[in-house]
Amino acid sequence: MYRSLQTLGAAVLALLVLFTGCDVNDEATNNKAQITVLLTDAPGDFESVFIDIQEVQINANAPGEDDNSDNEDGEENDEGWITLNDDPVRADLLELRNGDTIQLGGNALDAGNYNQIRLILGNDNEIIKDGQSFPLQTPSAQQSGLKLNIDANIEAGETYNLLVDFDAGRSIVETGNAMFILKPVLRAVMLEETGTIAGTVQPADFQTSVLAMANDETVASTTTGPNGGFSIIGLTQGTYDVTFNPNSDAFTDTTITNVEIEIDEDVDLGTITLNEQ
């Protein structure tokens, strides 16, 4: 009987330790948020644009801090940067259109406000144009990274998707002597706080560029797919003009004005039939 009581007591103690450990682990998990970084692209006049992303980092710097600030020795200030992914990703930006994305990395974060991310690039950046391969020069990105300001208010226990939109068309400068330089045009938004504009353009036997514009500025863009379909993701709440620029001299540009986007809303414009010249 005494041995049975000893055995029962040991079992109860083990269960108490197990449940206490679970509570501690659950509490630690609940104090974190999960964030995933996704990459998408706006179109460019190339066949491929390969970007060599070595690392993705996020920071919770003081509001108003210069996003390119260096220390007194002129070196990059690494204080506060948290690595989300250090497994290299070599992505062809031109495969990431019409809502297609790839995952650059993710991690658990403490709750708080994060206002910067950066992409550390490697040396294996390349474009393909007219069937030829050209190295894509990145003068400073390997050292300090491509930095974007964000406004991410992270709450414990939640899951977030941070979308990085890399505009290939506006990011690559040809110097005139068969050299191409990367001068990145990027934006970053929390995907859960955005909406989408989609539809179909006819005729569909050529590509049409689709631009979402606000205050005469291009916010995001894409090109139509094989059947004329298009989708522009990651649009923050507001009013947009959607412009269609056909890659054909037989048809004129078309604009649909005052398209309203709400958070977590998909706007389907239906079929847009281009007018002939």
Tell me the pLDDT band of 176, cut-offs 50, 70 and 90.
confident
* Mean of per-residue pLDDT scores for the chain: 81
CB contact set of 30 (below 8 Å; sequence gap of 6+) = 156, 157
Q: How far apart are CA 3 and CA 5, in angstroms?
A: 5
pTM of structure: 0.76
Tell me the pLDDT band of 256, cut-offs 50, 70 and 90.
very high
Give the pairing type, strands 217-223 and 186-190: unpaired
pLDDT of residue 97: 81
**160-169, 210-219, 224-233: range with lowest mean pLDDT:** 160-169
pLDDT of residue 61: 64
Distance of CA 79 to the CA centre of its chain: 23
User: How far, CA to CA in Å, does 239 sit from each of 84, 199, 212, 269?
Assistant: 33, 17, 9, 14
- Whether 225 has a pLDDT exceeding 60, the answer reads yes
Which H or E run contains 122?
none
Read off the pLDDT of residues 1-60 as tens digits, 9 standing for 90 and up.
Answer: 433 333 333 333 333 333 344 443 444 456 788 988 888 876 667 889 999 999 999 998
- pLDDT greater at residue 192 or residue 43: 192
Q: Taking Cα atoms as reference points, which of 86, 170, 83 lies closest to residue 122?
A: 86
Long-range (24+ apart) CB contacts under 8 A made by 66-75 are 67/116, 67/147, 67/148, 67/149, 68/144, 68/147
Tokens at 214, concatenated: 């606000």
**13-17, 27-31, 134-138, 187-191: range with lowest mean pLDDT:** 13-17
Read off the pLDDT of residues 70-127 as tens digits, 9 standing for 90 and up.
Answer: 333 434 556 789 999 889 999 998 888 888 899 998 989 999 899 899 999 988 999 9
